[in-house]
Each structure stands twice: as C-alpha cells, then as structure tokens.
Amino acid sequence: MNQFLDRYAQRGVSSSKSEVHAVVDHLDQGVFPGAFCKIGIDILTGKSDKCNIIHSDGSGTKSTLAYIHYKETGNPSAFRKTAQDSLVMNIDDLLCVGAVDGILISSTINRNARAITGEALDQLISGTEDFLASLRKLDVGVHSGGGETADVGDLTSTVTVDSCAVVIMDRTDVIDNAEIKPGLKIIGLSSSGQASYEFSENSGIGSNGLTSARHDLLCPYYLEKYPETADLATEKQFLYCGPYKMDDPLPGSEMSVGKALLSPTRTYAPVIKKLLSSSRDSIYGMVHCSGGGQTKCIRFGNGVHYIKDNFMPVPAIFKVIQKASGTSDEEMFRVYNMGHRMEIYCEAKAADSIISLSKSFGINAQIIGRTEASELADGVNHVTIKHEGYTLNYELEK
C-alpha cells in the first residue's frame, strides 16, 4: 500500500469501495445489469415496457466545508452549494442511464441543531428548491418531493445532506453501459470553468475525495478551532495537515482555497438532455466519474481496455492537492476527476457534434481516449492512463 492509500484509509475512506462491492455485486443487478445505476422492473405502474430507478447519494464531507465557512464568516450561503452537491450526485448518475425527465427528488438533512441553526437550515432547503427550479427552466424534468430534516446530535456533530431520486423510464430509452465495447471514442466534458448556466467559475472539484482534499489542504488551525469537523479517533498527523487557510489564494488560480473547495458540483443535465435528443443512436454508454475518479469506467462493459491519453489541462485545485499531500499520480486519478467528470462513449462519427454541443453551453469537451479490446489473459477490463510522460495501469479487482 503506497503512502497516499495509507493516508486515505487512515481517514476512514475508500476510493475503490471494495468492501461495498464485495456485498452488492452479489445481489440482484436488475433488468439492465450493466447499466450505471440499478434499474428494476416497473412496480410503480406495473407496465412491462417501463422500468423503475431509485437512487441515493449525497454531498459527503463537503458539507463540513460549508459549516467551517459559516462559522468563520457568519454567512450561511455556502450551504446552498451543499444542497446542489447532494442533488447533482444523484441527477448526474441518472443521466448515465438516460434519465432526464420525470425525476422526483427527496432530500434528507441530518443536523446537530446546536451547530446548524435555522438560518443555515433555510439555505439548505431553499437552495434545494431553487436549484431544482433552475434545472426545470433549462428543460430538465426534475421536481421536489419534499424530504426529511432530523435533529440527530448524537449521530452527527455538524450536518449531513443526502438525496434520493426516483424515476419511471421507458425501457427503450435506457442507456445500458453493457454496450460499451472496443472501437469507441471517449468524450470528456470538463469539470472546471464556467458553464453558461453557472453563476461563477467552477474549480472542478465536484464531491469526491473531499475528505482528503480538506485535510491535505487546510492547516491545523481548523482542527484546533473546529474539532467537531474531524474524527478524533484518526491519528492527528492525518488531520488538517495542509499549509492553507480558506482565504488564502489558490496557486495557479484566481480563486481562494476555500472558494475552490466549495465550488458546487457541476451538473451536465442541460447538455445531456439536448444530446440525447440529437445523438442518442451514436451513444453506447456514459460514465459519471465520481467515486473511483478516472477508473470508474472499469466496472462497465466486458473485455474492454480503456485508454485515456489526451486529457484536458488538469485544473489548479488538483495540482495543489497533489503538491501539498505528496499524493501519487496513480491515486490522484483514482480518487479525483482530474478535469472531466462526465464521459460519453460514442461512435467516431458523432464525436465532433457532441463536442460542439457541450461547448455551446460553455463547457469544454474533447476526445480524451478510446476503447480497445482487453489485452489481459483473462479478458477483464483494464484502464491505461497516459499523461505528461507517465503511464498508469489499473485492473478490475476480482
């Protein structure tokens, strides 16, 4: 185990979620076993040509950054970004199976009422409703189904923000990642910059790897002042061991460290909604590069060698994390999106139109790689990443 993997594990997190997969991979995989999300039979309307999806995710430890910002400034507005983080981690997973309409969202906020006051709660709830309304204005069919707010001070010292999404789809509309095969182009949609529907520049951080990003960038001041934001059972050397305060400039960027870490997770929903109406027949799969980063794709398709050798420039936030923490290249690409968080697997003839469509929304896109036949003796999936003179190889864990 390399140094970073040990640091990551010491903080109680896993980039591969191997223990989770050891359990769920043996459960019923639904009617499209190779899809990005589990898809079940339609028990809501009972129609054989329909299917149901119920999906859960959340903002993770990114809510801790909003809490720190709130305590430091007295301004609760950062919690609106946390609400978006939770919603997008669900919505953009659903995009990967082709769900862009009829999505019903329920949100769950678990808070310590002593730490998260009414004004902070207001920002979480109103932020949720406002973000969903903004997506509907962009022709994405997503609606609020309410939610739950629980005061659970015995369970959390600050706040957790989670969401659950439900959708009924026509089976014929499902994008099944089992169709990912050799001979496809991989289009990456940038995670950084400013989309036409965003209000400010995005660092690209998303909502994965934030436990390590926070502790590796922020300095011991935050552990001393806000011990409730850390698991004190963790060895102190792994807690808030970075060189920065949130107001410090982020090297290589016009953002502060805090603003970069708090950048709300970008949704690609408006892009994918339009893309599916114009190029659906040329798309064989989509992958949201969330948990697992640039190795997420390895779990989809069969007998596929994923080759990624034409990355966009890596955003400043990831370069600073790596420099501050000494993280290996191998683990950076396994944990973080490293510059693009949505991948589209398509026929070569569709690549230019997909790229142009993304750019029309202000989101950079390019061919970042291709799929070939697996080169391993047992034919399992594997990923090769080539970037800045080095080559990284990842194999599907058995």
DSSP alpha helix (H) spans, 55-117: 62-73, 78-95
pLDDT tens string 210-260: 999 999 999 999 999 999 999 998 899 999 999 999 999 999 999 999 999
pLDDT tens string 356-369: 999 999 999 999 99
pLDDT tens string 291-322: 899 999 999 999 999 999 999 999 999 999 99
Average pLDDT over residues 385-391: 96
CA distance 373 to 2: 29
Amino acid at 392: L
Q: Residue 29: pLDDT band by 50, 70, 90 thresholds?
A: confident
Domains of the chain plus CATH, in order, are 3-202+262-395 (3.30.1330.10)
Return the beta strands (E) in 290-329 as ranges: 304-308
pLDDT tens string 67-82: 999 999 999 999 999 9
Average pLDDT over residues 110-120: 96
CA distance 279 to 182: 19
pLDDT tens string 125-170: 999 999 999 999 999 999 999 999 999 999 999 999 999 999 999 9
Least confident interval from 22-26, 117-121, 365-369, 389-393? 22-26
Q: Show the 3-state SS of 92-139.
A: HHHHCCCCCCCEEEEEEEEECCCCCCHHHHHHHHHHHHHHHHHHHHCC
Average pLDDT over residues 101-128: 97
pLDDT confidence of residue 396 = 83
pLDDT confidence of residue 397 = 74
Q: Give residues with Cβ within 8 angstroms of 176, minimum separation 6.
A: 32, 34, 35, 97, 285
pLDDT confidence of residue 28 = 77
Task: Give residue for tokens 């660092």.
Answer: 203
Q: Are 29 and 21 in contact (CB under 8 A)?
A: no
Joined tokens for residue 54:
């119920």
pLDDT confidence of residue 1 = 41
pLDDT at 102 over 80: yes
pLDDT confidence of residue 168 = 98
**DSSP 8-state class, residue 102:** S
Length of the chain: 398
User: What are the backbone dihedrals phi and psi of residue 186, each rounded to the nearest 5 degrees, phi first?
Assistant: -110, 115
Mean confidence (pLDDT) of the chain = 94
Share of the chain above pLDDT 70, in %: 93
Determine which helix (DSSP H) or strand (DSSP E) holds 333, and give its type and residue range. Answer: helix 329-335
CA quadruple 32, 36, 42, 43: dihedral sign? positive
